[in-house]
């Protein structure tokens, strides 16, 4: 132990043993500075521990950033927080040392040590704008990255949300009918396939399927509009052909001639005992009735081709066990080399076992298409309705 410090400690012990207040005042003339120094020492220890943790966190995040290429914002925030905690640690350590040393002496030299506090104080003033700028930059980057993540999430979810509206996974149950459906997304981000089943009156159930030409957001929006316009027109007009004519006029005024639409409508009327269908340029649906397969072919051109186009309906008798299978052209036009899946292949698959569950019929058709053409390039929607 150095001689000066040993002498100080010995003198301090003697004074404490003697209980001399005057002697104590001589040794520690400014006890309030000593108390403040101890408090600053504790604060320095606390800030030092926090700085150590932040340093470890910053190193770990920086290592992960180098590996994954992400997390730069978190690394910058951790490093900025570490710098601030380190600055606070140094400040309190200097304060503690200066105050404790000054508490034991009246020397101007010790009082001058307090001037060392000005070093971190000046550093605070010098680097405060930098700290604030780093904080603003980190906050701005955080907002931009969060916004980018939201946009990416929306882009990822948008096709699913649209598909859920256009071709829902679950359809309501209707007494006296068995309904099956399936939708298979192709390679495009978004498409215009849609289907719907809903009542148009106490004894009438409409089943429809359609497709808007093209891929992307615009055909999907048009498909959404067509689907819900048909709900209105089919409740307004008992004849599906008239509903198609009204829809065609509406689409023709929208100024998007490139959005050609094909639709097939099948109206089951249990009171009249009929199946009434009309089709706007859509691939033929198949009706299985007592061992016979009947194609329900187009009864008018594609929608939006001609605002004055005429459509007509055809009627078939409706009996228990009758089955109608509707689909979009992604199924019939699935390709394998130079061959297409084709309408006849669809009819033959349905004919093999028309009595099986309607949902199973749809799944059988989609599996056959996958086996024939993999991967499927276009979206496929299939709807099967049986009178029970």
Per-residue pLDDT tens digits for 136-146: 665 566 667 66
Q: What pLDDT does 9 receive?
A: 43
Q: What pLDDT does 16 receive?
A: 44
Number of residues assigned to the chain: 388
Looking at the predicted structure, is the pLDDT value of residue 7 above 90?
A: no
Q: What pLDDT does 91 receive?
A: 79
Distances (CA, A) of 71 to 75, 85, 382: 6, 21, 44
Q: What pLDDT does 3 receive?
A: 47
**Considering only CA atoms, which of 46, 45, 40 is closest in space to residue 100?**
40
Average pLDDT value for residue range 209-234:
90
Looking at the predicted structure, is the pLDDT value of residue 131 above 70?
A: no
Taken in order 216, 218, 219, 222, the sign of the CA dihedral is positive
Looking at the predicted structure, is the pLDDT value of residue 171 above 50?
A: yes
Looking at the predicted structure, is the pLDDT value of residue 160 above 80?
A: no
Looking at the predicted structure, is the pLDDT value of residue 10 above 90?
A: no
The Cα–Cα gap between 73 and 59 comes to 13
Percent of the chain with pLDDT over 90: 46
Q: What pLDDT does 69 receive?
A: 62
Q: What pLDDT does 372 receive?
A: 93
Count of beta carbons in the 10 Å neighbourhood of residue 207: 26
Q: What pLDDT does 316 receive?
A: 97
Residue-by-residue DSSP string for 76-113: HHHHHHHHHHHHHHHHHHHHHHHHHHHHT---HHHHHH
The CATH number of 167-387 is 3.60.40.10
pLDDT band of residue 308 (cuts 50, 70, 90) is very high
Of 155 and 100, more confident: 100
Looking at the predicted structure, is the pLDDT value of residue 169 above 70?
A: yes
Q: What pLDDT does 15 receive?
A: 47
Phi, psi of 145 (to 5 degrees): -65, -40
Looking at the predicted structure, is the pLDDT value of residue 133 above 70?
A: no
Of 97 and 26, more confident: 97
Domain assignments of the chain as residue spans, ordered by start: 3-161, 167-387
Q: What pLDDT does 145 receive?
A: 67
Looking at the predicted structure, is the pLDDT value of residue 189 above 60?
A: no
């Amino acid at each position: 132990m150095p001689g000066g410090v040993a002498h100080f400690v010995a003198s301090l012990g003697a004074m404490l043993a003697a209980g001399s207040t005057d002697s104590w005042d001589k040794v520690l003339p400014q006890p309030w500075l000593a108390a403040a120094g101890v408090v600053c020492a504790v604060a320095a220890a606390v800030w030092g521990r926090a700085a150590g943790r932040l340093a470890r966190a910053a190193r770990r995040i920086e290592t992960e950033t180098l590996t994954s290429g992400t997390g730069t914002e978190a690394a910058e925030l951790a490093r900025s927080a570490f710098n601030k905690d380190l600055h606070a640690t140094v400040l309190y350590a200097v304060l503690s040392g200066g105050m404790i040393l000054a508490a034991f002496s009246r020397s101007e030299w010790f009082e001058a040590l307090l001037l060392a506090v000005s070093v971190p104080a000046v550093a605070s003033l010098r680097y405060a704008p930098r700290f604030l700028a780093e904080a603003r930059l980190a906050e701005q980057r955080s907002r931009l990255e969060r916004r980018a993540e939201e946009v990416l999430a929306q882009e990822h979810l948008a096709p699913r949300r649209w598909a859920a509206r256009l071709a829902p996974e679950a359809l309501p149950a209707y007494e006296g009918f068995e309904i099956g459906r399936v939708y298979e997304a192709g390679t495009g981000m978004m498409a215009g396939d849609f289907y719907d089943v809903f009542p148009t009156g106490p004894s009438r159930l409409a089943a429809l399927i359609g497709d808007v030409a093209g891929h992307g957001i615009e055909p999907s929006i048009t498909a959404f509009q067509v689907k819900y316009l048909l709900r209105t027109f089919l409740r307004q007009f008992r004849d599906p052909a008239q509903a198609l004519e009204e829809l065609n006029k509406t689409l023709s005024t929208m100024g998007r001639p490139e959005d050609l639409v094909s639709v097939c409508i099948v109206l089951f009327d249990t009171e009249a005992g009929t199946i009434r269908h009309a089709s706007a340029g859509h691939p033929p649906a198949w009706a299985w009735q007592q061992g016979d397969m009947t194609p329900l072919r187009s009864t008018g051109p594609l929608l939006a081709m001609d605002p004055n186009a005429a459509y007509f309906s055809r009627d078939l008798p409706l009996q228990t066990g009758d089955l109608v299978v509707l689909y979009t052209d992604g199924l019939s036009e699935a390709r394998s080399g130079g061959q297409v899946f084709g309408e006849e292949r669809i009819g033959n698959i349905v004919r093999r076992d028309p009595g099986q569950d309607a949902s199973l019929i749809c799944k059988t058709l989609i599996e056959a298409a996958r086996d024939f053409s993999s991967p499927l390039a276009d979206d496929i929607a299939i709807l099967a309705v049986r009178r029970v």
